[in-house]
Amino acid sequence: MTKHQDEWQAVGESVYDMLSEGLDELAWMNIPFNKNLELALLELTSRELRLNGRVFEVWLKEWHRHKVVMETSVRNIDQNLRICNEEKTVSMTRNLLKKARQDQTPLNLRQVVDPVCVNPRHISIAANKMRKRVAEPMGELMVWDVSCDTRDVQGKEQPREWRIGVGPALFWFQKFVYIPLRGRQVRAFIDKHGGELE
């Protein structure tokens, strides 16, 4: 979490209040699961993708409209959102959340890139490319919490290690939206098809 934890929680609560009325419809919560088990399983997957895709995008746009306590605004939110929604970025964010649940964050760049790096021998190159192209926009969106440890080199501060944690926009989305709604989706699916899974 960031140094402004209380302020970010207040932003999260405000964003949730703004979105809550239309949230069920946006997340397809108002559509009953199909009577066919196989189709319902596909729907269960698609609704999770919907939460992490369109619903999260709407959340982020609303988050960045709340600038009262924010230190900076995003220069190009649509461009940053495109990067955020790229398959590799989504995989890295999913891995980041998994590590956070295991209390293993923040991660260094290599650890973040590892799940999407095809050739382990090139992980340093991949990490450097990711930092230049992905880390800054993800930090601006507050999806990732990006920080850098520095060292003194001949009187000048130079980057020593980049560290990536879960940013406040992602943290409060998980808490207020994803976890509750995903729980409701799973319960609705079990209510309809639980007996067929035994």
pLDDT band of residue 158 (cuts 50, 70, 90) is: confident
pTM: 0.88
Q: Mean pLDDT throughout 6-23?
A: 92
CB 170 within 8 A of CB 179: no
CB 193 within 8 A of CB 40: yes
Q: Decide: residue 149, CB within 10 A, 0-12 exposed, 13-18 middle, 19+ buried.
A: exposed
pLDDT band of residue 168 (cuts 50, 70, 90) is: very high
CA atoms within 13 A on the CB side of 113: 24
For 113-141, what is each residue's pLDDT tens digit? 988 888 878 888 888 888 888 998 999 89
Q: What is the 3-state secondary structure (H, E, C) of 27-50?
A: CCCCCCCCCCHHHHHHHHHHHHHH
CB 165 within 8 A of CB 100: yes
For 47-91, what is each residue's pLDDT tens digit? 999 999 999 999 999 998 876 445 555 667 889 999 999 999 999
Q: Mean pLDDT throughout 182-197?
A: 89
